[in-house]
Amino acid sequence: MKNLFNVFLILTLVCFSPLQSQEKTPDLKSLDRYIEKALKDWGVPGLAIAIVKDDSVVFAKGYGVKAIGKNDPVDTHTLFAIASLSKAFTSASLGMLVEAGRLKWNDKVTDYVPYFQLYDSYATREMTVRDLLCHRSGLVTFGGDLIWYGTNYSRKEVIERIRFLKPKYSFRSAYGYQNIMFITAGEVLMNITGKTWDEFVKERIFSPLGMNETNTSVTSSFTNIAAPHTEYNGKLITIPYRNVDNCGSAAAINSNVTDLSKWIKMWLSHDSSKTLISGPTKHEIWTPHTIIPVSEASMKNIPSRHFSSAALGWFTFDYQKKKILDHGGGMDGMISKICLVPEENIGFVILTNSISGLSSALQYKILDLYLGGKDRDWCAERLKAVKEHEVKQIEADKKKEDGRVKDTKPSLPMERYTGLYGGPMYGNVKVDLENGKLVARFLPTASFVGDMRHWHYDTFEIELRDPNLPKGLVNFILDADGKIAEMKVDIPNPDFDFTELELKRLPGSK
């Protein structure tokens, strides 16, 4: 889930055009050519797409290759990590339990997950199942994600550790996108049914819909799968899949556009024999619950957008006078998008195998094709915005380097910085001296091994060997006796807040 800024940039900057007087007949051949060009312009290795209209798949195709350097094309059965598109499967699963009378949306979470506890005792006591699904816990966006991302903690352990994270907002007062609340929702389901979230969605969703190629773990057997890609040292490289089993109900599904078109049909269908949940339950899931503010600048740039909000496992907003349901997914080296226009019986899914905002740009191109929007080159405009941001980032990096104080030395000999640092939320980080240089090992996260070099004073630059994260800084804090008391890590990125980690020097450390 690295470098998702481009995705959020696209969602923030897109400009909506007025509704034309007459709807257009979608030119899917033109769309096909547009996608081919956009794929090359953006440098995305592979993409798969499916469009559903009136209970029929009207367009489905794979583009590009599964992995750079190999001539193995993406097709409509190629699997991708769909990440947070998994959340709608969780809200649908809980909706089934509501319909069966085994759960109410406003039931208290602690009635089903007694080990659930937040820093705020009031929020702990009052948190409902509904609250888990609409991002209003009081925690900041992506707060606590370092507890589960690549760690050896179980789902239960992840939930137990969130009690140590201070909220940013008061309970239910503001939007803050949360993965751990969805992990908790999966545990609610398990503690009611006696089945894991994985078992339940396979039995109650995948199998009935014929989603036979979809799974919930990278440990499953694969024969046709796209490789994740990321940019590392200015070059696009393939990277391994990350095991995110401990984040199951928030982000663990792997699927393809063939299976996901069946999922889309289920949501759009009005035929009770083809749907797994009732109309009223769909309505409840799609109802706005948490307002996402639309800034004045956005209102000027997007005059047709009047609201944005989090529903239950979906986001909803208006576009071209229609209610839109959508969700994006971001995992290491992959970005996905699903979008529904229920009033028009339209839905589509776009899966890509690199970190880029191409899927979001294509979303609005497709919406315009079907809703009669003005013909606009969304991909070219958004790519320009991304390039401009990259230039600004280079300037910011240079400014950071220029601010470095030259010719300073650490306060203490190198060996004095070694030892064990940690706290109850995340766990421990071990700092060793290897070949005369400091190396930090984040013990819960095996891939987080950071090589450090002196920056200035008692601050060191850290570069993780994991290519999914950029360089950052580690500041060692000395106490009144001149001994190291704490280390503070700051690796700036849009997905994880390393400053959340409490890393006090532990007793017995040298």
> Residues 225-243: what's their mean pLDDT?
94
Distance, CA of 205 to CA of 71 (rounded, Å): 34
pLDDT digits (tens, 9 = 90+) for 40-62: 999 999 999 999 999 999 999 99
- Contact predicate 504/419, CB 8 Å: no
- Contact predicate 336/80, CB 8 Å: yes
Helices first, then strands: H and E counts in the chain: 15, 20
Q: Is the predicted pLDDT of residue 9 greater than 70, yes or no?
A: no
- Contact predicate 49/61, CB 8 Å: yes
pLDDT, residue 301, reads 60
> Residues 250-264: what's their mean pLDDT?
98
CATH topology of domain 5-55+69-391: Beta-lactamase (3.40.710)
> Residues 138-164: what's their mean pLDDT?
98
- The pLDDT-based confidence of 4 (bands split at 50, 70, 90) is very low
- The pLDDT-based confidence of 496 (bands split at 50, 70, 90) is very high
pLDDT digits (tens, 9 = 90+) for 305-353: 788 999 999 999 999 999 999 999 999 999 999 999 999 999 999 999 9
Q: Is the predicted pLDDT of residue 399 greater than 80, yes or no?
A: yes
Residue ranges of alpha helices (H) inside 140-201 are 155-161, 180-193, 197-201
- 237 forms beta bridges with 230
Distance, CA of 401 to CA of 131 (rounded, Å): 43
- The pLDDT-based confidence of 439 (bands split at 50, 70, 90) is very high
Q: What is the mean pLDDT of the chain?
A: 92
- The pLDDT-based confidence of 493 (bands split at 50, 70, 90) is very high
Distance, CA of 305 to CA of 291 (rounded, Å): 13
Strand arrangement, sheet containing 334-341: 56-64, 46-53, 346-352, 334-341, 322-331, 315-319, 308-310, 290-291
Locus of tokens 């970190």: 355
- 37 forms beta bridges with none
502, exposed or middle or buried, with CB in 10 Å at 0-12, 13-18, 19+?
Answer: middle
User: In what helix (H) or strand (E) does residue 105 lie, and over which residues does it extend?
Assistant: none
Q: How would you label 53-86 residue by residue, b for 16+ Cβ within 10 Å and e otherwise? A: beeebebbbbbbbbbbeeeeebbbebbbbbbbbb
414-505 CATH, one of 2.40.128.50, 3.30.420.40, 3.40.640.10, 3.30.365.10: 2.40.128.50
pLDDT, residue 2, reads 43
Of 162-171, 272-281, 311-320, the range with the lowest mean pLDDT is 272-281
pLDDT, residue 12, reads 42
Of 112-116, 269-273, 317-321, 430-434, the range with the lowest mean pLDDT is 269-273
pLDDT digits (tens, 9 = 90+) for 13-32: 443 333 333 445 789 999 99
Distance, CA of 125 to CA of 108 (rounded, Å): 7
Domain ranges of the chain: 5-55+69-391, 414-505
320 phi, psi to nearest 5 deg: 50, 40
